[in-house]
């Protein structure tokens, strides 16, 4: 039995029980090989609709479809053994009605086998959170900077800079918590606001650009691994993957052009009788 498989598998309930305890370690995942590596170290793997931008090269998350989320969710589930896999419901898949949200969430859970879904939680979404939770689908909320609302809010800007904005974010958090969210992502707010929300809500908070005051942290994995030239202020780069990949491909191209690859070690020879 591997050390990885000896860990107790995380569930929505076990994530919720970590409120105020050991910080939750969370990262995004979009494919099976990466999920397998991350799973050994993470409590939660989020199949985020950020895949539209970091995998598919889209300008925002708005164009991501439910079928795309399910495809990537299936892949991540093949690589994850112990982490709780949470899949985003993309823009347009849950806002029209609670029934639409349930059908979208049902498809995600039944077709991928994941343990929960995540929705961006304006105050309007509280009823949806409760509707799903009452029907057996754990929901992770998402408040503060909500990427799916970027067309209305004018881009990816930190929230809570004015009194009115702060009250709006707090209202989102309270509504999602009271509706039964098992955990809550807080994105793009200052430390004071993140701390206030974390102290007020019963579910654990997971920060992304929301300070160490939260009950856990999440980053977009390609960002923290250094896959892009630019990353947001709140990202700490733990790797230089873009540079390392570039160097590896440069070396490969050189060997091919010099006909030094494939060499004897990589070449098949006919066996002599």
Does 254 belong to an annotated binding site? no
Structure tokens at 25: 């370690």
SS3 at position 195: helix
DSSP state at residue 233:
T
74 annotated as a binding-site residue: no
Our CA angle for 109, 51, 245, nearest 5°, is 130
Tell me 113's DSSP state.
-
The question of whether 187 is a catalytic residue gets the answer yes
Would the annotation count 5 as a binding residue?
no
> Exposure pattern of 191-218 as b/e (b: 16+ CB <10 Å)?
eebbbbbbeebebbbbbbbbbebbbbbb
50 is in an annotated binding site: yes
Which of 18, 17, 36 is CA-nearest to residue 27? 36
Catalytic residue among 187, 243, 247, 264: 187
120 labeled part of a ligand binding site: yes
Q: Which residues are annotated as a binding site for Mg(2+)?
A: 49, 88, 120
Q: Which residues are annotated as a binding site for 3-methyl-2-oxobutanoate?
A: 49-50, 88, 118
Q: What is the set of active-site residues? A: 187
Q: Which residues are annotated as a binding site?
A: 49-50, 88, 118, 120
């Amino acid at each position: 039995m591997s050390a990885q498989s000896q860990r107790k598998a995380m569930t929505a309930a076990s994530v919720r029980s970590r409120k105020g305890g050991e910080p939750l370690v969370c990262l995004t995942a979009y494919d099976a090989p990466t999920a397998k590596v991350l799973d050994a170290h993470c409590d939660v793997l989020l199949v985020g609709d950020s895949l539209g931008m970091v995998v598919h090269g889209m300008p925002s998350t708005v164009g991501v479809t439910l079928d795309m989320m399910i495809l990537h969710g299936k892949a991540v589930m093949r690589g994850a053994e112990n982490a709780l896999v949470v899949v985003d419901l993309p823009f347009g898949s849950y806002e029209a009605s609670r029934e639409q949200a349930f059908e979208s969430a049902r498809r995600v859970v039944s077709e991928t086998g994941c343990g929960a879904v995540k929705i961006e939680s304006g105050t309007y979404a509280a009823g949806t959170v409760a509707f799903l939770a009452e029907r057996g689908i754990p929901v992770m909320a998402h408040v503060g900077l909500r990427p799916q609302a970027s067309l209305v809010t004018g881009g990816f800007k930190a929230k809570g800079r004015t009194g009115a904005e702060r009250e709006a974010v707090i209202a989102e958090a309270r509504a999602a918590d009271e509706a039964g969210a098992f955990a809550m992502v807080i994105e793009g707010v200052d430390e004071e606001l993140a701390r206030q929300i974390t102290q007020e809500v019963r579910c654990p908070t997971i920060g992304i650009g929301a300070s160490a005051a939260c009950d856990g942290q999440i980053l977009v994995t390609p960002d923290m691994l250094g896959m892009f030239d630019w990353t947001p202020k709140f990202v700490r780069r733990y790797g230089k993957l873009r540079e390392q990949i570039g160097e590896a491909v440069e070396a490969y191209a050189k060997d091919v052009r010099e006909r030094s690859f494939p060499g004897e070690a990589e070449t098949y020879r006919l066996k002599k009788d």
